[in-house]
Each structure stands twice: as structure tokens, then as C-alpha cells.
Amino acid sequence: MEHGAKVVMCAIGQKDVEKAKKELEKYGEIFAKVADVRDDKEVKKFVNEVLSLYGKIDVLINNAGIIWGGDFSKQSYSSISNLIDSNLKGVLFVTRAVINHMLSRKSGVIINMSSEAGEYGIEGMVTYCATKFGVRGFSEALDEEVSGRGIRVYSICPGAVDTDLQFEFSGKRGGIPPERVAELIVKIAATFPKSKKCFEL
């Protein structure tokens, strides 16, 4: 926003949307609305509303996600489905809703949040790792598919980031400051690096 961008965001909870909007609107224009990335109809409706309002989408950042830890043999089927729907299908759904618009303009940057858990397996985070490996694979494959048509796709693979989600999972504060992740996203979106497709933090 400090670089002149108009920021658009969605989240599944009204409180999260209101909190983010309140924190960000002091920096510039923001459009925030409740939408569930697990629901393709909600995603398409949200994207169409954004396009109607602003006319274009230059940068897409897929950052929605949840986490579950524990013995995989004890994880419920509903929990497995929820992680896959939120962390992986959500990325695919939102990207699918935006990609044709970017292709028609022959321009766009897509940045997907993976994790160090998308680079190697971690005990107690089996399903989470599966979703984050999936995000990396999706990002690399899609970049191969669209890079010659004016679009670049990247993934970011940080370690633990000092967020509320991390605190709820581990019970501890610490990790990479969220600002460092945000700074990397801005840098990628602004410079369109060619050689590197997955960024570690």
C-alpha cells in the first residue's frame, strides 16, 4: 500500500476481515470481504466483484491456511479434508478464478505461501506437509505452463512465522517477523525475478 497498491483481501471470518481492514486502511485503499477459499462459488463471486470494482488484478497472493499437529494415525478424516481444502484446494481455486484474467492481459504475478514443511517432511505434521508440498508443486508446474505468456508464479517457504496461527499451534511466540515475509512479497512482486521460483526465509 505504501508503494501505491490497492489492496484487496478476503478471509473466512468477519472479525478477521474487520481487524485487517482497520489495521490497513490507514496506509491506503483496501477492499476487504468475507469469502471462503474452500468454496469455488464464493471465490468466483469475490474475484468478479474485485474485477468489477478495479478492472484488473496485477498480483495474487495466496496466504490462507490452517495447521494441525499430532500423530497422523489419530487425525480425523474431517481434519484431513479441512487441511487439504484450506491449504491446497483454496490456492488452486483462487488461482483458477484469476488466471484467465491475467492470461488475457498477458501480465501478472502469483505468489503462493508454502512452508519449510513443503521442502521436507516433519514428524507430527504429515497432512500439513502434504498440502505445502502440493503448493510448491502446483506453483512450479503452473509457472512452467504460463511463464511464456507474461505471468510468473512463485512460492515462499518460510520457517515458523510469529503469527497468531503459530502461537495457537505451538503455544509460543517467536519465529520470523511477519514483516520480513511481507517485505519479500513486495520485492518479488516489484522485481519479477527470473531465476528463482521458491524463496526460503
> If you ran DSSP here, which 8-state letter would residue 174 be given?
-
120 is catalytic: no
pLDDT in the model for residue 136:
96
Direct distance between the N- and C-terminal alpha carbons of the chain, in angstroms, rounded to an integer? 22
pLDDT of residue 16: 87
Q: How many Cβ atoms sit within 10 Å of the Cβ of residue 127? A: 20
pTM: 0.91
Burial 73-102 (b: 16+ CB within 10 A, else e): eeeeeeebeebbbbbbbbbbbbbebbbebb
pLDDT at 2: 58
Alpha carbon of 36 to those of 41, 136, 149, 196: distances in Å?
A: 9, 22, 29, 31
Q: Does domain 57-200 have CATH number 3.40.50.720?
A: yes
Find out whether 153 and 135 touch, Cβ atoms under 8 Å.
no
**Residue for grid cell 506453483:** 139
Q: What is the pLDDT of residue 196?
A: 65
Q: Which residues contact 190 (CB under 8 A, 6 or more apart)?
A: 3
Report the alpha-carbon distance of residue 147 to residue 11 in Å, rounded: 28
Residues 6+ apart with CB under 8 A from 113: 61, 62, 63, 65, 135, 155, 156, 158
Answer yes or no: are the C-beta atoms of 37 and 86 closer than 8 Å.
yes
Would you state the pLDDT for residue 25? 86
pLDDT under 50: residue ranges of the chain: none
Q: What is the spatial distance between Cα 148 and Cα 144, in angstroms, rounded to a whole number? A: 8
Sequence-distant (≥ 6) Cβ neighbours of residue 81 within 8 angstroms:
none
Q: What is the pLDDT of residue 190?
A: 87
pLDDT, position 68: 92
**Annotated catalytic residue, options 27, 77, 128, 154:** 128
